[in-house]
């Protein structure tokens, strides 16, 4: 038996011949069609539906067929459900609630760093879920709300964080995200990530509808994108203050009458009380600046597609647009260092030459997409000429991943 984190267990192979045995005909020859359904995590179900020579389906088996079909398609949500939800616990030993929503191969949602429900900072988040090793990576993208109560807000959350965690579900009931938090800018480790999945949130917002209805239509990509835009445009309420100012009341001046002459001084006019009300503050939402190319390099997955041996004195690299010329622009990193940026791909080669003596024994060259052009994804053809030999590689980069090549120096 194979156990799922969602608490569902299915056998590695189900024998449907026994289920359909009462419905087989013993008269004449039967024509059979075998339908094979592949379920996530390599669970395979085989069904055999029998027909007469006339080609008509045995109707007695139809109810069971519909039931099995419903069960099969319900498994399509098993992988998306566990990571989508309300996660509460500690990041860098501070209170946090993270709402994660899986949208295709990406993650979106929001995070709250808080001392109480009246004192918190809220960020939008982005990330991705790697199904190969159950690792979850997300980062604080934009500060969209801040509320200060009587208590001082924690220092956690003042600088965007980058979280890397493993998805665990010991016993198949409770679900955890355990890993480390680092500063988004320089990847310096700051503290542990310890989160557990719950059925209800601490903070209510627009993402709750998506999470609560994820398997009933809430996983629609267009709906998730619309909610994401709504969250980013949420206004921060401005506090109105009414200041009442009152001038000091003048005091009447009285002079003592002289025996021979009396002098009368008129009292000054009483100044009216003035109330001033501040005009409402115009709310302005400041959009966070776009990610720099170095931030894109740090936060995106790096997929090494090919290894190429290196010999001789130099390497010549030529980059072309691999498909229709649609305005693709890239940056090139070598061993985590920015080498060239703003390279516009066309049908004419962009040439880079590297001296072999300046390379390490193992070198990673990564192509980062600066944009996706008018036809996503960003694709390029790289032709490498090394010691008279020609190598070709087709590189594809998106907003979630960057493609790369590893060059290995041959020992003399």
Q: What is the pLDDT of residue 284?
A: 60
Task: Kindly report, residue by residue over 133-187, the tens digit of the pLDDT.
Answer: 888 999 999 999 888 865 555 554 467 899 999 988 877 788 999 999 998 887 7
**Distance (Å, whole) CA 165 – CA 157:** 18
> Which architecture, in CATH terms, is 302-409?
Sandwich (2.60)
pLDDT band at 22 (very low <50, low <70, confident <90, very high): very low
- 367 has a pLDDT exceeding 60: yes
Judge whether 328 and 380 are in contact, CB under 8 Å: yes
Lowest mean pLDDT across 37-41, 50-54, 385-389: 37-41
Side-chain-side CA neighbours of residue 285 (13 Å): 13
Task: Kindly report, residue by residue over 109-139, the tens digit of the pLDDT.
Answer: 999 999 998 889 999 999 998 878 888 999 9
| Sole residue written with tokens 């694709």 | 379
Q: What is the pLDDT of residue 389?
A: 92
Which residues does residue 380 pair with via DSSP β-bridges, in sequence order?
321, 395
Task: Kindly report, residue by residue over 260-290, the tens digit of the pLDDT.
Answer: 555 555 665 666 666 666 666 665 665 667 7
pLDDT band at 11 (very low <50, low <70, confident <90, very high): very low
- 410 has a pLDDT exceeding 70: yes
In sequence order, what are the residues at sequence separation of 6 or more whose Cβ sits closer than 8 angstroms to the Cβ of residue 326?
A: 373, 374, 375
Q: What is the pLDDT of residue 231?
A: 79
Q: What is the pLDDT of residue 86?
A: 96
**Distance (Å, whole) CA 290 – CA 399:** 13
Task: Kindly report, residue by residue over 71-101, the tens digit of the pLDDT.
Answer: 544 444 444 568 999 999 999 988 999 999 9
Sign (positive or negative) of CA dihedral 15, 21, 24, 26: positive
Query: Which residue, 276, 254, 256, is CA-closest to 265?
Result: 254
Q: What is the pLDDT of residue 66?
A: 52
Q: What is the pLDDT of residue 41?
A: 35
Helix (H, G, I), strand (E, B) or coil at 60: helix
In sequence order, what are the residues at sequence separation of 6 or more whose Cβ sits closer than 8 angstroms to the Cβ of residue 289?
A: none
Q: What is the pLDDT of residue 271?
A: 64
Q: What average pLDDT does range 314-341 have in this prediction?
A: 90
Lowest mean pLDDT across 31-40, 48-57, 198-207, 253-262: 31-40
**Distance (Å, whole) CA 38 – CA 393:** 31
Rounded to the nearest integer, the mean pLDDT of the chain is 75
Q: What topology does CATH give the domain 82-232?
A: Lipocalin (2.40.128)
Task: Kindly report, residue by residue over 231-256, the tens digit of the pLDDT.
Answer: 777 644 443 333 334 344 455 444 44
Q: What average pLDDT does range 326-355 have in this prediction?
A: 92
**Taking CA 166 as the corner, what is the angle to CA 165 and CA 171, rounded to the nearest 5 degrees?**
140
pLDDT band at 47 (very low <50, low <70, confident <90, very high): very low
Helix (H, G, I), strand (E, B) or coil at 140: strand
Domain ranges of the chain: 2-77, 82-232, 302-409
Q: What is the pLDDT of residue 309?
A: 94
């Amino acid at each position: 038996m194979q156990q799922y984190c969602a608490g569902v267990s299915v056998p590695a192979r189900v024998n449907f011949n026994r289920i359909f045995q009462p419905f087989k005909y013993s008269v004449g020859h039967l024509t059979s069609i075998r339908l094979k359904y592949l379920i996530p995590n390599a669970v395979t179900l085989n069904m055999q539906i029998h027909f007469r020579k006339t080609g008509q389906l045995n109707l007695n088996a139809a109810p069971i067929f519909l039931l099995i079909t419903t069960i099969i398609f319900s498994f399509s949500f098993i992988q998306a459900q566990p990571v989508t939800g309300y996660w509460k616990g500690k990041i860098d030993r501070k209170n946090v609630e993270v709402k994660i929503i899986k949208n295709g191969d990406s993650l979106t949602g929001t995070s709250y760093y808080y001392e109480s429900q009246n004192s918190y900072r809220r960020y939008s988040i982005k990330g991705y879920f790697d199904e190969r090793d159950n690792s979850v990576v997300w980062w604080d993208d934009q500060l969209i709300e801040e509320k200060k109560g009587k208590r001082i807000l924690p220092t956690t959350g003042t600088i965007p964080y980058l979280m890397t965690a493993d998805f665990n579900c010991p016993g198949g009931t409770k679900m955890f995200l355990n890993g480390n938090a680092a500063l988004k800018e320089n990847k310096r480790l700051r503290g542990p990530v310890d989160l557990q999945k719950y059925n209800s949130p601490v903070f209510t917002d627009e993402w709750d509808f998506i999470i609560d209805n994820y398997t009933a239509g809430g996983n629609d990509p267009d709906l998730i994108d619309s909610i994401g835009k709504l969250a980013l445009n949420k206004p921060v309420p401005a506090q109105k203050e009414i200041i009442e100012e009152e001038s000091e009341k003048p005091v009447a001046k009285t002079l003592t009458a002289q025996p021979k002459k009396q002098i009368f001084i008129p009292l000054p006019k009483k100044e009216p009380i003035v109330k001033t009300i501040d005009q409402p503050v115009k709310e302005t939402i400041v959009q966070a600046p776009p990610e720099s190319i170095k931030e894109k390099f740090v936060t995106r997955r790096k997929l090494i597609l090919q290894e190429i041996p290196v010999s001789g004195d130099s390497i010549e690299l030529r980059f072309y647009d691999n498909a229709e010329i649609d305005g693709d622009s890239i940056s090139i990193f070598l061993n985590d260092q920015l080498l060239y940026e703003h390279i516009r791909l066309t049908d004419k080669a962009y040439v880079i030459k590297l001296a072999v003596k300046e390379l390490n024994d193992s070198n990673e060259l990564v192509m980062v997409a600066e944009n996706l052009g008018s036809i996503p994804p960003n694709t390029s053809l790289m032709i490498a000429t090394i010691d008279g030999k020609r190598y070709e590689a087709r590189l594809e980069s998106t907003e979630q991943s960057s493609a790369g090549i590893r060059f290995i120096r041959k020992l003399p």
